[in-house]
């Protein structure tokens, strides 16, 4: 296989992974719909049980109560549970298949380019979304949260589509400034942090939806949102997001430090207020403020969740806006 063949096969595998993730997205959505249907049936069964009246028979003895609706114990409930289990199995299987295809695409891209495959926006989107999928699968092994699957696979499909249609560049070497082992350390850790932040963002979105539903928000009171009644409590979702953001923050701290060391080796200075350096520092400050407010100031609930959304917005701005619209020493988008 020539290098050109490896590059072409890598691109085809990315398209294949995006297609498989789309199937997973649909399956997660069906699983989520089954959860809502399950919750609705449970609510109807509970209302029927509460509404049963026991007429008083002659002599003051209570007549036998009418049998409660079979609900989930009946054939319809068992059939719904089977359909949900099937959708969940398809979602998990296709997610893992997409991950295998995406990992193969990353490896082939590296072979074709003759370097680590994360030197431009196309490759950053490819590898960063792959890390997010890995984190998602780890979380889903412990918790049944199809909404996370919907959001993370949806973001991954969007990232791969943008990578292929907007950010794509041919596999090639790198500029002399990037020809260093620091690209493996600095950029690799930054990509990993971004993937972790992505799943934490999804957990915070779910926390906000769950909290709004619990408070009786009119917009989330409709039956289509009934699945929110089955997800963990907001405090558990907040704890999940906090743990992931703490891991991401440690990785991002190392990213900033490693970038400063690499800058000194390459340009003879640790810090130069380059747009990418400034925005990387902004991301660090926002997540540091979030962790500080969460642990020492008692910030919790929706305030903490909105803080996470702001932080992830800064991460996305650092990846897209800074690379595309600001010129500087970090203008390595390849576009």
Domain ranges, ordered by start, for the chain = 174-335
- Tell whether the model's pLDDT for residue 210 goes beyond 90: yes
Residue pair 122/168 in contact (Cβ under 8 Å)? The answer is yes
pLDDT in tens, 45-89: 665 666 554 455 444 444 444 333 333 444 444 555 666 688 899
The span from the CA of 135 to the CA of 27, in Å, is: 19
**For 234-256, what is the mean pLDDT?**
96
More confident residue, 37 or 91: 91
Least confident of 4-13, 101-110, 113-122, 237-246: 113-122
For residues 16 and 8, what is the distance between their CA atoms, to the nearest angstrom?
A: 12
Nearest to 92 by CA among 38, 23, 42, 188: 23
Q: Taking 90 as the threshold, does the pLDDT of residue 313 lie above it?
A: yes
Please choose, from the candidates 125, 323, 145, the residue with its C-alpha nearest in 3D space to the C-alpha of residue 233.
145
Average pLDDT, the chain: 85
Exposure string of 308-333, with b = 16+ CB inside 10 Å and e = fewer, is beebbebbeebbbebbeeeeeebbbb
The tokens for 136 are: 């998602």
pLDDT recorded at residue 263: 84
The SS3 assignment for 284 reads: helix
Lowest mean pLDDT segment, chosen from 14-28, 36-50, 195-209, 229-243: 36-50
pLDDT of residue 220: 84
Of 14-18, 43-47, 93-97, 130-134, minimum mean pLDDT range: 43-47
d(CA 203, CA 135): 12
Which of 200-209, 292-301, 325-334 ranks highest by mean pLDDT?
200-209
For residues 249 and 292, is the Cβ–Cβ distance under 8 A?
Answer: no
- Chain centroid offset of residue 192 CA: 12
Percentage helix, strand, coil for the chain under 3-state DSSP, each rounded to 5 = 80, 0, 20
Residue 155 has pLDDT above 90, yes or no: yes
């Amino acid at each position: 296989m020539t290098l050109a063949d490896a590059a072409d096969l890598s691109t085809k595998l990315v398209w294949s992974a995006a297609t498989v993730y789309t199937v997973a997205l649909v399956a997660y959505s069906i699983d989520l719909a089954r959860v809502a249907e399950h919750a609705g049936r449970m609510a109807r069964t509970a209302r029927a049980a509460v509404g049963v009246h026991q007429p008083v028979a002659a002599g003051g003895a209570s007549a036998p109560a009418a049998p409660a609706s079979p609900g989930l114990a009946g054939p319809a409930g068992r059939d719904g549970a089977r359909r949900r289990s099937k959708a969940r199995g398809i979602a998990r299987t296709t997610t893992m298949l997409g991950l295998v295809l995406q990992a193969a695409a990353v490896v082939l891209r590296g072979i074709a380019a003759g370097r680590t495959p994360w030197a431009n926006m196309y490759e950053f989107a490819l590898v960063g979304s792959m890390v997010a999928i890995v984190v998602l699968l780890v979380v889903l092994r412990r918790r049944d949260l199809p909404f996370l699957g919907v959001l993370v696979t949806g973001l991954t499909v969007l990232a791969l589509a943008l990578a292929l249609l907007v950010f794509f560049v041919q596999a090639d070497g790198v500029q002399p400034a990037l020809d260093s082992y620091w690209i493996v350390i600095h950029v690799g850790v930054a990509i990993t942090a971004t993937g972790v932040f992505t799943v934490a963002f999804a957990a915070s979105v779910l926390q906000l939806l769950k909290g709004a539903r619990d408070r009786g928000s009119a917009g989330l009171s409709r039956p289509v949102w009934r699945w929110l009644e089955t997800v963990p409590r907001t405090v558990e979702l907040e704890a999940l997001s906090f743990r992931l953001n703490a891991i991401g923050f440690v990785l991002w701290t190392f990213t900033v430090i490693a970038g400063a060391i690499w800058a000194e080796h390459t340009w003879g200075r640790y810090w130069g207020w380059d747009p990418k350096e400034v925005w990387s520092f902004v991301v660090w400050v926002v997540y540091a403020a979030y962790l500080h407010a969460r642990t020492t100031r008692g910030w919790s609930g929706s305030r903490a969740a909105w803080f996470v959304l702001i932080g992830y917005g800064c991460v996305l701005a650092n990846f897209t806006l800074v690379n595309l619209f600001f010129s500087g020493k970090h203008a390595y988008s390849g576009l």
